């Protein structure tokens, strides 16, 4: 699904990732943990195609296609979804218009089919029920006036509707109340299948207890220094990131 080889990233003369490697197979859930400022969000921005980062070395393949040659919108249509740590607001564009046009563009690209409003509404209505949300939020402008947690739920709803193949969630659990965290985890568990992969960036164990990732990676000193299972988290919680670096 995703293969990152020896990636070097810098921005404004600051090296952020160095010889970074990561492979994610279809159906796998991976989690990345790392101290503040270790480059987790940068990684998600680079995969999404944000321009300001300089990739001085390395390769990223998505479904065996060279991702770095693709424009951001093509990456999205190919099946990459990134929920940013700080979701942006788009005044003047309703959730409804945003979702309809996004889904229409993806379906046109993948299935060569025009999505009509009737089919779109059917999809939305089914999924809203599962999300346990009222329909009112569809008429609101994208993220405008939403609380931090509401923005995250909004993003999860986009992911649920757009059905991407690679879901990258950057601190989706930060700022969520207990019920919202359960809803986010529920949607991830519903969406989990043999063909879809997840990369969950988090600081906390709680979401990982709900979704049970296949691998947990520690990003430290510009690369992944350790990968493993829940035992890594116990070590982190007891001794901090320094202890992992020391081993
Ligand atoms: P994380 O998400 O792991 O907390 P980030 O990826 O947001 O970390 O940032 C990694 C480092 O890169 C931080 O030290 C941050 O200040 C720095 N950084 C990110 N973007 C820029 C930029 N445009 N100019 C300078 N430094 C940046
Ligand atoms: Mg971050």
Q: Which domains does the chain have, with CATH numbers?
A: 28-42+74-245 (3.40.50.300)
For ligand 1, atom 27, which residue shows the shortest CA distance? 11
Mutate which of 10, 14, 46 to test ligand 1's pocket (most atoms within 8 Å of Cβ)?
14
Gap from CA of 40 to ligand 1 centroid (Å): 8
DSSP helix/strand/coil, 95: helix
Instruction: Give the predicted TM-score (pTM) of the model.
Output: 0.95
pLDDT at 246: 59
For the Cβ of 42 lying below 6 angstroms from any atom of ligand 1, the answer is yes
Contact of 26 with 196, CB cutoff 8 Å: yes
From the CA of 84, the nearest ligand is 2
And the tokens for 205? 């164990």
**Which residue positions in the chain have pLDDT lower than 70?**
245-247
Contact of 190 with 159, CB cutoff 8 Å: no
For the Cβ of 39 lying below 6 angstroms from any atom of ligand 1, the answer is yes
And the tokens for 216? 């947990």
Mean per-residue pLDDT over the chain, rounded: 94
- Catalogue the E-assigned strands of the chain: 2-11, 14-24, 29-33, 54-62, 65-66, 80-83, 90-94, 141-142, 166-170, 197-201, 215-220, 223-228
* CA-201 nearest atom, ligand 1: 2
And the tokens for 1? 């699904």
Q: Which of 100, 95, 96, 126 is nearest to 115 (CA)?
A: 100
Distance CA 112, CA 40 (A): 35
Tell me how many degrees the CA angle 168-171-177 measures, rounded to the nearest 5: 125
For ligand 1, atom 22, which residue shows the shortest CA distance? 11
pLDDT at 131: 85
For the Cβ of 13 lying below 6 angstroms from any atom of ligand 1, the answer is no
pLDDT at 225: 92
């Amino acid at each position: 699904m995703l293969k990152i080889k020896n990636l070097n990233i810098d921005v404004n003369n600051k090296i952020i990732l160095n010889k970074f490697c990561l492979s994610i197979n279809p159906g796998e859930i991976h989690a990345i943990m790392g101290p503040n400022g270790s480059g987790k969000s940068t990684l998600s921005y680079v995969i999404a195609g944000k321009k300001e980062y300089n990739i001085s070395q390395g390769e990223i393949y998505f479904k065996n296609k060279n991702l770095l040659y693709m424009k951001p919108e093509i990456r999205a249509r190919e099946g990459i979804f990134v929920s940013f740590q700080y979701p942006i607001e788009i005044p003047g564009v309703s959730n409804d218009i945003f979702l309809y046009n996004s889904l229409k563009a993806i379906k046109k690209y993948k299935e060569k089919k025009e999505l009509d409003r009737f089919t779109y509404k059917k999809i939305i209505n089914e999924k809203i029920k599962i999300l346990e949300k009222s329909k009112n939020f569809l008429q609101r402008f994208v993220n405008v006036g939403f609380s931090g947690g509401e923005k995250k739920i909004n993003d999860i709803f986009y992911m649920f509707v757009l059905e991407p193949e690679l879901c990258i969630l950057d601190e989706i659990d930060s700022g969520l109340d207990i019920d919202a965290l359960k809803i986010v985890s529920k949607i991830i568990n519903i969406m989990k299948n043999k063909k879809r992969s997840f990369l969950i960036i988090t600081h906390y164990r709680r979401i990982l207890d709900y979704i049970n990732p296949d691998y947990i990676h520690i990003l430290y000193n510009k690369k992944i220094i350790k990968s493993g299972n829940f035992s890594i988290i116990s070590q982190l919680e007891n001794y901090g990131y320094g202890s992992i670096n020391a081993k």
